[in-house]
Structure formats: structure tokens, C-alpha cells
Amino acid sequence: MLNSENPTPEPALSENLANRIPSPQADLSGQLVFLGTGTSVGVPVIGCDCPTCTSDNPRNQRTRCSLVFGLPDGNLLVDTTPDLRTQLLRERIGIIHATLFTHEHADHVFGLDDLRIFPHYLGHSMPIYCEDHVEARIRKSFDYAFTDEAKAYAGGVPQVAFHRIGLEPFSALGQQIVPLRLWHGKFRVLGFRFGNVAYCTDTNRIPDESRRLLEGLDVLILDALRPRPHATHFSLDEAVAVAQSLKPKRTLFTHMSHEIEHAWANENLPSGMELAYDGLRLEWSP
């Protein structure tokens, strides 16, 4: 594992801000929170007047795809979407203790700057768990945070400590996490298994070696972009077929476009399968 060189924030400021966090915002123990369930452009889509985009059903309002897991030793964020600040405020989640990345695409990375408040609360840099090519993208896209001059800005840039991961299980915030190789078209991405819950977004192919790691699940969270086939995402029918082959007790679909209308699709899914939605909370046992 490799830590970045960024300094920790000024202790006095950290202590001052940390004392302001209401405890209900910090305690997500045993909960899984869907921050966002939408595709890269979100739903509603800018300029679109289709029935889903103009729906008054709040479950058709989808920000970019992300989760928070309440783990034994804190709150783990999966991906930093461009909607991150809005998502955390909406769900009244006032603290993130570590961040995990599935891959390096803009809708999963470009909210990273919103993490910069948390080192003030934590008293140290934000731990970031990701593959080496994801770290490279972050360092390139947020290069201002990794210059010598950045050290003079304290909380003005995101302060992070990289922990490189591969396909070996690792521990974060008191939880063993099993990475799963997935393919997103030609792109390598990761899914993750947390106990009997697995998160597999942004994929259209699950290799056999990863399928074996997805057996015996209580909950499978799976990419299902739209009814029609797509080059890099499972369609809804393809995702249903994957879930039927893996046989989890419950399947929740995510990363959905405006081509999927919540009420209609939910009514037509097989038993044990449903669409996730922004703000959905599940109880789970780490």
C-alpha cells in the first residue's frame, strides 16, 4: 500500500469542526445507503421531456451511482460522483471515514474534491482504496492536489492517502472486502463483496472466476442500464438473467438510465428482484 505525501490538516481546526458533527449523522452502523442509482448523465436528463424525466415519482430522480456502507469502524463511501455533496447532504451523512473506487470514469471520480472537508473531521488524510490505474487518473485529473504548492493550502485541496488494491481480499474500517474483476466493455473495473452483499456496477461481463465469488449472496446490487443492449453495461434483461443464474436472495438493480421507469419496471420484474432508488437504506450484517 502506498500513502500520498499530502499533510494532515491543522489539528485545532480538525478538533473544532469535529465537535460540530451531530452524532446521528455519523452513525450508519449496519446500514447500506444508496446515494445514487443513475447513469452517467443522471435522471432527469438535461433537455429531455420523456415520461421518466418529467415524472413526479421521486424514485425516477436518479443522481450518479454511489453507495455508503456503515462498517464496524466507520462509513465507507464507494465512488465520488459529481453529485457527492448533494447526496451526502440529502441523506444527512456528516462523516466519511474511507473511500473505495470501482473504476476511474468521470461519473465515479469527479466529485473527489468534495472529500476535502472530511480530513478536518478525521484529523488525518482521507484513506483512498483503488487500483493503480484509478490512482493515476485521480492524480492526473486533480493534479492541483499533489503539487508541492498544495501543501501550503491545508484544507483547500483534497488530502488523501492512497492504498492500492488488486484482486486480493483486504480490510478497511474493520470489514474484510473481496474485490471482483468485472469488465465494462474494454475497461477493467472492480466489484466488491462485503460479507453476503455484493456491489457490481458498470459492467457487462462477469468472468467465471468472479461469478464463483458471487455465490450464496443475501443481496446482489447489479448494473442494469436500460431495456436495450449496450456496449458496456448490462441491459435490464441481461441483468435479470445474471441474477437468475447467481440466485441471490435479493437483487437490486442500479446505474439506470431514463429508459427505465421505476414503477412500471418494478411491477414487471421477477420475484426477489427490484430497482434500487436514491435514498434507499438496507439493514445488513457486516
Please check whether residue 203 lies inside any domain of the structure. Answer: yes
- pLDDT recorded at residue 11: 42
Say if 6 falls within a structural domain. Answer: no
Domain membership of residue 74 (yes or no) is: yes
Average pLDDT for runs of 10 along the chain of length 286: 46 51 65 97 97 98 98 96 97 96 94 94 95 96 87 79 97 98 95 97 96 97 96 96 98 98 96 98 88
Residue 46 lies in a domain: yes
Determine, yes or no, domain membership for 108.
yes
Instruction: Report yes or no on 158 lying in a domain.
Output: yes
Range of the domain at 150: 11-283
pTM summary value: 0.91
What is the reported pLDDT for 17?
55
* Amino acid 20: pLDDT: 55
Residue 256 lies in a domain: yes
Query: Each residue of 256-279: pLDDT tens digit?
Result: 999 999 999 999 999 999 999 999
Domain count, the chain: 1
Q: In angstroms, what CA-CA distances link 158 with 104, 130, 211, 236?
A: 17, 16, 36, 37
- CATH value at residue 99: 3.60.15.10
